[in-house]
Amino acid sequence: MTAPQVNAHEGLPDDRDNVRLWLRLLTCTRIIEKSVKRGFADEYNSTLPRFDVMAALERRPEGMTMGQLSKALLVSNGNVTGVVQVLVRDRYVSLTPSPTDGRSSVARLTRLGRDHFAVLAEAHRNWVETMLAGLGREDRSQLYQSLGVLKDLLADNGETE
C-alpha cells in the first residue's frame, strides 16, 4: 500500500537506499497483483489465494497438509485453512486424514479441481503476458537475474523461516 511514495521521489532516484528499493519492489508487485486479483474476481469468481493453493497442490499430487501449504505459501495456518475449506466446498479439493498423523488432514486437488486450475492458470498466464509484454528482452533478462540475486540473499538470511 506504500506504492505512491516511490512516485513522490521520482525526481530524486537514489539507488543506494534499500527502503526505496523495497518500496519500488512492493509497488510493482501490488500493481500486477491488483490486476490479477481483479481478473480472478471478475471473470472466475475466484481469488488469488485460492489460485495459489491450487497451484501448490497441482505440483504435489500426493497432497499437502495445512502446515505444508502454510509454509510453502508463506501465509498463516489459519488463512490456508479458510481457503482450503472454500475449495473443498466447491469440490476442487478433497481432504483425507494423514496416514502418519491422525490429527492433520491431507489436501489434494480433485479431478474437477485440476480442470478448473488449468483454466485459471491459462487466464493468469495471459494476464501476466499482457502486462509484461512491453518489457524488452534485455530488460526482462536483467530483472530476472537481479531478482534472483535478491531471492538468494533473502534465502541465505533465513527470511523464509
Site residues for a second copy per CB under 8 A? 1-6, 8, 13, 15-16, 18-22, 24-35, 48-49, 51-53, 55-56, 59, 72-75, 124-125, 128-129, 131-135, 137, 139-151, 153-154, 156-157, 159-160
SS3 content of the chain, % helix, strand, coil (to 5): 65, 5, 25
Residue 144, SS3 per DSSP: helix
SS3 96: strand
The C-alpha cell of 101 is what?
A: 498423523
> Looking at beta carbons only, is 19 or 112 nearer to a second copy?
19
For a second copy, give the closer residue by CB, 45 or 102.
Answer: 45
| Alpha carbons 11 and 116: distance in angstroms, whole number | 46
Is 97 or 153 the residue whose CB approaches a second copy more closely? 153
CB of 56 to a second copy, least distance (A): 7
